[in-house]
Amino acid sequence: MSYSIAEAARRSGLSIDTLRYYERIKLLDPPARDTAGRRAYSDDDLNWLGFLTKLRTTGMPIKSMREYASLRRHGVASAARRKALLVEQRRSVAERIAELQGCLDILDYKIENYERVEQKVLGIEPGMEEISA
Amino acid sequence: MSYSIAEAARRSGLSIDTLRYYERIKLLDPPARDTAGRRAYSDDDLNWLGFLTKLRTTGMPIKSMREYASLRRHGVASAARRKALLVEQRRSVAERIAELQGCLDILDYKIENYERVEQKVLGIEPGMEEISA
DNA sequence: ATTTGACCTGGAGTGCACTCCAGGTCGTAG
DNA sequence: CTACGACCTGGAGTGCACTCCAGGTCAAAT
């Protein structure tokens, strides 16, 4: 199957402009063109875009995604390096999750404080001062 | 206790420039000054900075942090709105953690593929083509 | 007395990841 | 046959969150 840029945008969740942008910066190999010169994205293109958006979601900078994309073009010889990039990204995602979990705990604590205050609107109890911190 | 801007930067993990920037954009109330006109941060200032950096870590945009900071200045009457902001942020952090967890699973899958390929360097087995996707 | 180093201000510059724009080409629908 | 909508190109503009800079002040050390 092949897809117009509008359809590719819809399926990938990226904007049309972003698709052209990704192509310009070589994140995406130039897709095929139809007889009128319009882009015709393949299923492979869409799969790659899907993976790219996952990498983006993990916070991988475009620079690194470009490196990965460029390695991919150099075939099997680059597999070790590509794997290393993914392993490093996995590490950073796990770290980020832990960090966010810590923030979640702090948010819960703060929210509980607000709830304590709601229950004792009269009189200042220990914990009240937290509300202003 | 009070702290020079350099010390406050060290303790908060923010740069000196960022501290002045946060003050300019009203994330941080102007700290006290010493006789020479230099900033003298209090423990309260440092605690607030600590909380701000947590919010930042969760991906809260500065715009929202400013709203929270501004509400804080309006005392107890703003408590409900402040709590609502934190509850919303908790929701978005939990969502983000789930999203990252999904990405982690995909990374694991890809990394496993690379490992499968490493073990069977000769001959193309099912899964090999994944390496180029 | 002068040098040094930390600090001050207002404003300009940076890097990232898009996003928008003007002006043009195609192919189908009316 | 012309009007429309979707697409094309190269390049400029945007928003965010800092980060850097020039030129100046001040207090303590040499």
Strand C: positions under 7 A of a protein C-beta atom: 6-9, 16-21, 26-27
Amino acid occupying residue B9: A
Q: What is the mean pLDDT of chain A?
A: 92
Task: Check B103 against A83: CB less than 8 A apart.
Answer: no
**Cα nearest neighbour of B131 on chain A:** A79
Cβ count near B86 (within 10 Å): 19
* pLDDT surpassing 70 at residue B133: no
- In tens, the pLDDT along A92-120 reads 999 999 999 999 999 999 999 999 988 87
Nucleotide nearest to A30 (CA to C1'): D8
- In tens, the pLDDT along A65-79 reads 999 999 999 999 999
Indicate yes or no: strand C within 7 A of the C-beta of B6: yes
B90 neighbourhood in chain A, CB within 8 Å: 104, 107-108, 111
The whole-number average pLDDT for the span B1-10 is: 97
Q: Which residues contact A70 (CB under 8 A, 6 or more apart)?
A: A26
β-strands B32-33, B2-3: how paired? unpaired
The pLDDT of residue B120: 72
The answer to whether residue B124 neighbours chain A at the CB level (below 8 Å) is: no
B28 neighbourhood in chain A, CB within 8 Å: none
Q: What is the mean pLDDT of chain B?
A: 92
